[in-house]
Amino acid sequence: MMLNIPYAIGDLQGCALSLDALLGCPELADVPLRFVGDLVNRGPDSLGTLRRMRSLGNRAKCVLGNHDIHLLAVAAGVRKLGRRDTIQDILGAPDREELLDWLRHIPLAREENGFLLVHAGVLPQWSVEQTLDLASEVEKLLRGPNWRTRIRDIFGNEPVRWKDSLKGDDRLRVIVNALTRLRFCTEMGDMEFSFSGPPADAPVNYLPWFDVPGRQATDATVVCGHWSALGLMLRPDVIALDTGCVWAGQLSAVSLDVPKNRKLVQVNCKEEGLPIEAKE
Ligand SMILES: [Mn+2]
């Protein structure tokens, strides 16, 4: 029997109809599925998306995105709903607690066959091994008995620079921010969170995290989403998959194979009435 190669899928953000359409493509029949996070928010059906994801069982494996962690924090009562949030349906659902428990057990990084999945990025100082170890420090907090109070402490933009000697909440905040929010950093790895535009418009002295010279985690291909203004990027060392489905773009899937054999499958957004290219 042929082993099916997994497909990695970009940011869903509550676009359940687009997920249905993508999973209906013949190339994706019976293949393992890997999701780069931001399953919920901004789109019209966050609840339906989470229920579908959970029902995929072991066929689908994910990493957490910033919107997924925001949902957990709102549910825990430590963050307020934003004006543009569309996660209220989950908060009021009869199966809310099962969905939240399922969500908070999803890791922030996964390694599989030479691919490293994260939602946003990997700091230039981090190896693949260190990235997985650091992710597990946050996973422990989210899976722990006090997650509802502790999750408050992993929000915030500071500190912007990683040091191995960081301790406590500062340490966890840098880990969460790199893995779930990073787009641009300096050559020293200082992170920037205010600008979400394309690489060509990078703020002075900042560059995309994956273009920092001497980046350590190059023995795996990093697979990520989070950056719709970057869009689809297929390089030997990085696969970026956020093609702005929730901004009336596409939902994209790429087979996790050697570069020359990678297959791309895309569906146009199936959701009605979404703002076009209102990128964030
Ligand atoms: Mn994101």
> How far is ligand 1, taken at its centre, from the CA of residue 3, in Å?
31
| The predicted structure's pLDDT at residue 273 | 75
> How far is ligand 1, taken at its centre, from the CA of residue 218, in Å?
22
Residue 175's SS3 state is helix
> How far is ligand 1, taken at its centre, from the CA of residue 119, in Å?
7
The string of DSSP letters for 93-150 reads -TTHHHHHHHHHTS-SEEEETTEEEESS---TT--HHHHHHHHHHHHHHHHSTTHHHH
Q: What are 182-214's pLDDT values in tens digits?
A: 999 999 999 999 999 999 999 999 999 999 999
C-alpha span between 182 and 174 (Å, rounded): 10
| The predicted structure's pLDDT at residue 2 | 56
| The predicted structure's pLDDT at residue 278 | 55
Closest CA to 50 of 115, 106, 4: 106
> How far is ligand 1, taken at its centre, from the CA of residue 129, in Å?
23
pTM exceeds 0.95, yes or no:
yes
| The predicted structure's pLDDT at residue 141 | 98
Third-level CATH fold of 7-268: Purple Acid Phosphatase; chain A, domain 2 (3.60.21)
Q: Which residues of the chain have pLDDT under 50?
A: 1
> How far is ligand 1, taken at its centre, from the CA of residue 41, in Å?
10
Closest CA to 225 of 205, 203, 204, 249: 249
Domain boundaries, the chain: 7-268
> How far is ligand 1, taken at its centre, from the CA of residue 226, in Å?
4
| The predicted structure's pLDDT at residue 142 | 98
> How far is ligand 1, taken at its centre, from the CA of residue 224, in Å?
10
> How far is ligand 1, taken at its centre, from the CA of residue 51, in Å?
20
> How far is ligand 1, taken at its centre, from the CA of residue 2, in Å?
34
